[in-house]
Structure 1
Amino acid sequence: MTRKTVRIAMNGVTGRMGHRQHLVRSILALREQGGLDLGDGTVLWPEPVLVGRREHALKALAEQYGLDHWSTDLDMVLGDPDVEIYFDAQITSAREGSIKKAIAAGKHIYTEKPTATGLAGALDLARRAQAKGVEHGVVQDKIFLPGLLKLKRLVDGGFFGRVLSVRGEFGYWVFEGDWQSAQRPSWNYRAEDGGGIVVDMFPHWEYVVHELFGRVTSVQALATIHVPRRWDENGKPYEATADDAAYGIFELEGGAIAQINSSWAVRVNRDELVEFQVDGTEGSAVAGLRKCRVQHRSATPKPVWNPDVPATEVFRDQWQEVPDNAEFDNGFKAQWELFLRHVYAGAPYHWDLWAGARGVQLAELGLKSSAEGRRIDVPEIPL
């Protein structure tokens, strides 16, 4: 076996997602398993170079995990010819400029989403990467969750027949930050810092729906601020300027309708924090983060509406659990592996900056739909 060290600049790993999912549960997990075996006698050994603005936080992370390389100077890191990949998990408003620098430096790009604050910027990044000839990928973690992998198995196997509709419910109560600390950073609720649930979640819904059921052809959305006053990390009150809830209806290629609610101001009364119900002519399914349940046409009960009589059926008990039938790895790690195989072994990979631009487009049009109170067609991304 030949071990190839791959130095990866990881920008923004002092944040929650960058730290837990990308550094610890992906890159460091790959190192714990001995690297990534490409199957040709080569094992990739990822060597993270931590990048960020807070020196003390970077130093603490490096010491905690026994890492040798960290810096607050992004330009210096990008100027290092031994650094081959640039990864970005910064706040949205800082991402576009950093990725431009990384592309100009000839680095392969792997990034969180949204890739930019607007469609024009997202398309510009994709075109720059294409012109430079670097490989590029965008994190699309939800489709690697066990529940959605099972749902895709059902789609691929023709379980649903013709898909009629998709209903999604996502969200939970994010505390305001006064008497209990908030579970999300305060910038999420400031539009001027790139915050808002539409910008955050519509890119997710775009790739989930696109990957499983088809391209979104129109959007009608209502975005709102349910909780206008919050408290930041220092206990200081501020006025929320970004939407904390959005209610969207999406028409899909082929005629199916997706209706997805997203909210940081909802208390959970479902099995998981996100659930999708898919109804088709031959069967239905409800998928969450890990579980998936089905009800086939042949086993569908025949309920009768009668509000004068107490319900005697337990409707949840009428569904069948979809078995795992496989071992599911961490979704972020699984996609990291696919991207690294793409870069270093030529494996196919289509979750790129063009796909990321579709998510930015849907968020942009969703906000426009909400502001103008109308349904808006979603044109295909110009390549």
Structure 2
Amino acid sequence: MAVRTIGVAVNGVTGRMGYRQHLVRSLLPLRDEGVRLQDGTVLKVEPVLVGRNADKLKEIAERHDLARWTTDLDSALADPSVEIYFDSQVTSRHVESITKALRAGKHVYTEKPVSDTVEQALELARLADSLSLRHGVVADKLYLPGIRKLKRLIDGGFFGRILSVRGEFGYWVFEGDWQPAQRPSWNYRAEDGGGIVSDMFCHWSYLLHDLFGRVEAVTAKAVTHIPTRWDEQNNAYEATADDAAYGIFEIANGVIAQINSSWCVRVRRDELVEFQVDGTEGSAVAGLRECFAQTRAVTPKPVWNPDLPVTHPFREQWQQVPDNEEFDNGFKVQWAEFLRHVYDGAPFPHDFRAGARGVALAAAGLQSSSEGRRVEIADV
């Protein structure tokens, strides 16, 4: 059995997402397990840590027995053993670093949003294509067990004609004064690329597109519910970015999606994100891990009467969709798919152009909110 080891420059590994999901739960297991290619070769990855804080990089490298780390991106990209560049920095740093990586001849995989503007994302796609380099953007929500079960129902024709989607995402992110915030402070500063629209609408873009169809128009309201927060040094700062967004998304085949996204909401639902899909033949509710369904034939027939207590046990009238398979970490699964895309030419739809669709939807959502109107979205 042939084994091939390739270097992967991981930029932004000191951040929560870059460290937990991409390094610890994806790349380190793939370093040990490998990815089997079509010719039988087992591809193994060797992370090269890149960042700005030498002390943090050194500590992470020692903790996970990694030989290589650097604060010099150019030197990492000059290393011929490094064949893939991954970026999980703040969005404002993506374009410059990704451009450097492409010009250095590296395939690129990146966290979303891929860029601040649609044109930047498309320019990166054109540059990568002109250099015959592969490119991809993280689309982790599609790999959640609950969403994969929902996709199974869609592919099996369970819903009949799909009518609508209703999504609820979010949780209470503490302000940082009397309890530490669960998210970095830059998330709440627009000047640093923060904002829930730019963050979550990119997720809703690929989720809606891949499950239901292209989003053609959006009507949204973005707000900053909490005007003052406290940063990592316990200093108060003005929250200039939106921390909640309420959106209506019109999809090409007539499906209407309504999704609330908020870091200012307390959770009274089964999971931190839930989507209810209603169709002529059945409905389903999918979360991070679980999915419940109800067919047309067993749909109850409630009657509105506010003077009497509700007698229907509504939650008990749904059937749990079985796993029917083992679900690995979604970030790791998509990493393996991207590696097969690079080295086997396997299809990979989540490229920079798909990332540009997410940026376009976020931009349209912010425009809709600021102008108070419905905004149509051109295909990209």
Same fold at TM > 0.5: yes
CA distance in 2 between partners of 1:81 and 1:39 (Å):
24
CA distance in 2 between partners of 1:276 and 1:241 (Å):
29
Is 1:207 aligned to residue 206 of structure 2?
yes
Q: Specify the alignment match of 1:67 in structure 2.
A: 66
Q: Specify the alignment match of 1:266 in structure 2.
A: 265
- Tell me if the contact between 2:171 and 2:262 (Cα under 8 Å) persists in the aligned partners: yes
Q: Specify the alignment match of 2:275 in structure 1.
A: 276
Shift of 1:37: 1.7
CA distance in 2 between partners of 1:316 and 1:378 (Å):
37
Q: Specify the alignment match of 1:297 in structure 2.
A: 296
Q: Specify the alignment match of 2:239 in structure 1.
A: 240
Q: Specify the alignment match of 1:49 in structure 2.
A: 48
- Tell me if the contact between 2:26 and 2:331 (Cα under 8 Å) persists in the aligned partners: yes
CA distance in 1 between partners of 2:318 and 2:257 (Å):
22
Q: Specify the alignment match of 2:353 in structure 1.
A: 354
Shift of 1:219: 0.4
CA distance in 1 between partners of 2:269 and 2:153 (Å):
22
- Cα deviation 1:70-95 (Å, max 9, x = unaligned): 00000111111221000000011111
CA distance in 1 between partners of 2:98 and 2:30 (Å):
24
CA distance in 2 between partners of 1:114 and 1:262 (Å):
16
- Cα deviation 1:173-211 (Å, max 9, x = unaligned): 000000000000000000000000000000000000001
- Tell me if the contact between 2:32 and 2:44 (Cα under 8 Å) persists in the aligned partners: no
Q: Specify the alignment match of 2:109 in structure 1.
A: 110
Q: Specify the alignment match of 1:315 in structure 2.
A: 314
- Cα deviation 1:317-373 (Å, max 9, x = unaligned): 110000000000000000000000111112111110110010001001100110000
Shift of 1:40: 2.1
- SS of corresponding position for 2:166: strand
Structure 1 unpaired stretches of 5+: none
- Cα deviation 1:204-226 (Å, max 9, x = unaligned): 00000001000000000000000
Is 1:162 aligned to residue 138 of structure 2?
no
- Cα deviation 1:11-45 (Å, max 9, x = unaligned): 00110000000001001011233x11224221111
CA distance in 1 between partners of 2:235 and 2:117 (Å):
30
CA distance in 1 between partners of 2:139 and 2:105 (Å):
23
**Stretches of 4+ moved more than 4 A in 1?**
none
CA distance in 1 between partners of 2:164 and 2:238 (Å):
37
Q: Specify the alignment match of 1:38 in structure 2.
A: 37
Q: Specify the alignment match of 1:191 in structure 2.
A: 190
- SS of corresponding position for 2:325: coil
Q: Specify the alignment match of 1:24 in structure 2.
A: 24
Amino acid at match of 1:16: R
| Larger deviation, residues 307-316 vs 169-178 | 307-316
- SS of corresponding position for 1:360: helix
CA distance in 1 between partners of 2:363 and 2:346 (Å):
32
Residue pairs, 1:315-354, within 5 angstroms:
315-354=314-353
Q: TM-score, normalised to structure 1's length?
A: 0.98
**CA RMSD, Structure 1 to Structure 2 (Å):** 0.7
Shift of 1:237: 0.3
Q: Specify the alignment match of 2:7 in structure 1.
A: 7
Shift of 1:267: 0.2
CA distance in 2 between partners of 1:347 and 1:95 (Å):
25
- SS of corresponding position for 1:278: strand
CA distance in 2 between partners of 1:39 and 1:14 (Å):
34
Shift of 1:133: 1.1
- Tell me if the contact between 2:38 and 2:344 (Cα under 8 Å) persists in the aligned partners: no
CA distance in 2 between partners of 1:361 and 1:104 (Å):
25
- SS of corresponding position for 2:97: helix
Residue pairs, 1:115-130, within 5 angstroms:
115-130=114-129
Is 1:378 aligned to residue 345 of structure 2?
no
Amino acid at match of 1:25: R
Amino acid at match of 2:100: K
- SS of corresponding position for 1:380: coil
Q: TM-score, normalised to structure 2's length?
A: 0.99
Q: Specify the alignment match of 1:251 in structure 2.
A: 250
Shift of 1:96: 1.2
- Cα deviation 1:51-110 (Å, max 9, x = unaligned): 000000000000000000100000111111221000000011111110011111110000
CA distance in 2 between partners of 1:110 and 1:205 (Å):
19
Q: Specify the alignment match of 1:181 in structure 2.
A: 180
Shift of 1:130: 1.2
Amino acid at match of 1:282: E
- SS of corresponding position for 1:81: coil
Shift of 1:127: 1.2
Structure 2 unpaired stretches of 5+: none
CA distance in 1 between partners of 2:256 and 2:278 (Å):
10
Cα distance 1:32–1:80, how it changes in 2: closer, same or farther (>3 A)?
closer
- SS of corresponding position for 1:208: helix
- Cα deviation 1:208-256 (Å, max 9, x = unaligned): 0001000000000000000000000000000000000000000001101
CA distance in 2 between partners of 1:357 and 1:111 (Å):
12
CA distance in 2 between partners of 1:183 and 1:363 (Å):
23
Amino acid at match of 2:304: W
